[in-house]
């Protein structure tokens, strides 16, 4: 009896599942095998050591899909991480960028008083549109005076030309008299050798020939003076005409017009104000020629090249635009400051410099809502 009890107790302990080995076999499967053979759970199973490995194989088979799914997830994660890394390395981005445009200062080219103002602050204008009208009355008077000076100079020139013509006529008369006097001198010289006339008569005709010759020379000199006077008066006419042109220009400068399409900045003058030559009146942003200035750190420029595609996100309107890198800057923006950094000082701290990169918009895009100064996020695609 004791031996049987010991055997049954040992069998029950062998059938009892050990939590430490639950992963190797399924106790439920072992009980099912005992029931199929007609044995009670209390009886020992001599073949349990052989059937338990079969239960372990079944459990491993059930876990194979989970292991495979885990491996596939790890592979997908590794591939996705590689793709994300490659994507992250395929661009350089900065939010230190803005829309830029040519800024033209509008100034007065003459002194004057503002008579009319035709634009307001931040108004859109077209090329040739009248912005400011200066009082033109003083310049209109100057134009009339200059025209009178031109007329006077031309009259003096015509008078000089007449004097020159008269001097030329006197030269011809003197030359004719000189020719007659020399012929008489030659004739009386022959008659004197023949003894037909006296020496006194010959001397008279000889002196007359000398007088006529001197008269020709005097008239020629006077004609030369008249000719030079004509040249001087011609120069006076040209100077008077140039002065007239300048006064007409000054009269035109009283109308200050927009040099191109754009947006007027804040005015610095008011109606009735006296302005001086070169004084700034306002500024004009030429919105017809826009570009982006993006400031990248020097470490971002390693793989950046001209003509690379750029995606431009404008914060103000929430839109993306296409562009491309025009060129790379040759110097840091810090060098253009009024007080550039001095790296040779004792308190120098190394900091990444920023270089401005101009970016131009691709054609066939609507840029009408863009304004100079808008913030932009620029993404340069390196591949």
Instruction: Please give the pLDDT value at position 173.
Output: 82
pLDDT in tens, 88-98: 577 889 999 99
Q: Domain boundaries in the chain?
A: 2-88, 91-102+285-381, 103-135+255-282, 137-253
Angle 12-13-14 from CA coordinates, rounded to 5°: 90
In the chain the beta strands, taken as DSSP E runs, fall at 91-100, 103-107, 112-117, 124-125, 130-134, 255-257, 262-264, 274-275, 280-285, 291-297, 309-314, 319-325, 354-361, 375-381
The mean-pLDDT minimum among 122-131, 203-212, 271-280, 361-370 falls in 203-212
Residues, the chain, total? 383
Average pLDDT over residues 169-187: 80
Average pLDDT over residues 18-25: 44
Instruction: Please give the pLDDT value at position 6.
Output: 45
Q: What is the mean pLDDT of the chain?
A: 79
Average pLDDT over residues 69-78: 80
The fourth-level CATH superfamily of domain 91-102+285-381 is Efflux pump adaptor protein, beta barrel domain (2.40.30.170)
d(CA 66, CA 68): 5
Average pLDDT over residues 10-31: 46
DSSP 77-95: HHHHHHHHHHHHTTEEEEE
CATH number for the domain whose boundaries are 103-135+255-282: 2.40.50.100
d(CA 275, CA 269): 8
CATH number for the domain whose boundaries are 137-253: 1.10.287.620
pLDDT in tens, 215-270: 888 888 888 888 888 889 999 999 999 999 999 999 999 999 999 888 998 889 99
Res 349 pLDDT > 50: yes
Strand partners, 106: 282
At 272, the pLDDT band (50, 70, 90 cuts) reads very high
């Amino acid at each position: 009896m004791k031996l049987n009890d010991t055997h049954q107790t040992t069998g029950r302990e062998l059938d009892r599942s050990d939590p430490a080995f639950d992963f190797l076999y399924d106790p439920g499967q072992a009980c099912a095998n005992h029931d199929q053979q007609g044995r009670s759970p209390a009886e020992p199973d001599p073949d349990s050591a052989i059937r338990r490995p079969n239960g372990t194989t079944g459990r491993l088979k059930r876990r194979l899909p989970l292991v495979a799914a885990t491996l596939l997830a790890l592979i997908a994660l590794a591939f996705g991480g590689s793709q994300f890394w490659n994507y992250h390395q395929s661009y350089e981005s900065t939010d230190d960028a803005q829309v830029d445009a040519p800024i033209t200062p509008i100034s007065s080219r003459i002194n004057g008083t503002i008579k009319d103002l035709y634009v307001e602050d931040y108004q859109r204008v077209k090329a040739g549109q009248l912005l400011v009208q200066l009082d033109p009355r003083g310049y209109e008077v100057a134009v009339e005076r200059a025209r009178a000076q031109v007329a006077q100079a031309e009259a003096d020139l015509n008078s000089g030309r007449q004097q020159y013509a008269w001097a030329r006529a006197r030269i011809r008369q003197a030359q004719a008299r000189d020719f007659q006097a020399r012929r008489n001198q030659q004739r009386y010289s022959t008659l004197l050798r023949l003894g037909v006339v006296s020496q006194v008569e010959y001397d008279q005709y000889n002196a007359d020939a000398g007088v006529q010759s001197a008269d020709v020379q005097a008239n020629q000199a006077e004609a030369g003076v008249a000719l030079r006077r004509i040249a001087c008066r011609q120069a006076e006419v040209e100077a008077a005409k140039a002065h007239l042109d300048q006064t007409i220009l000054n009269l035109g400068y009283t109308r200050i017009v927009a040099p191109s399409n754009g947006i007027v900045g804040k005015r610095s003058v008011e109606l009735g104000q006296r302005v001086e030559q070169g004084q700034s009146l306002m500024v004009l942003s030429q919105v017809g020629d826009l570009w982006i200035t993006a400031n990248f750190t020097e470490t971002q420029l390693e793989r950046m090249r001209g003509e690379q595609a750029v995606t431009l996100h404008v914060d103000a309107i929430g839109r993306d635009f296409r562009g491309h890198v025009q060129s790379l800057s040759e110097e840091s923006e810090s060098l253009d400051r009024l007080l550039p950094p001095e790296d040779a000082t004792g308190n120098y701290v190394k900091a990444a410099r920023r270089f401005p990169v101009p970016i131009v918009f691709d054609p066939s895009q609507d840029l009408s809502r863009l304004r100079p100064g808008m913030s932009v996020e620029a993404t340069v695609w390196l591949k």
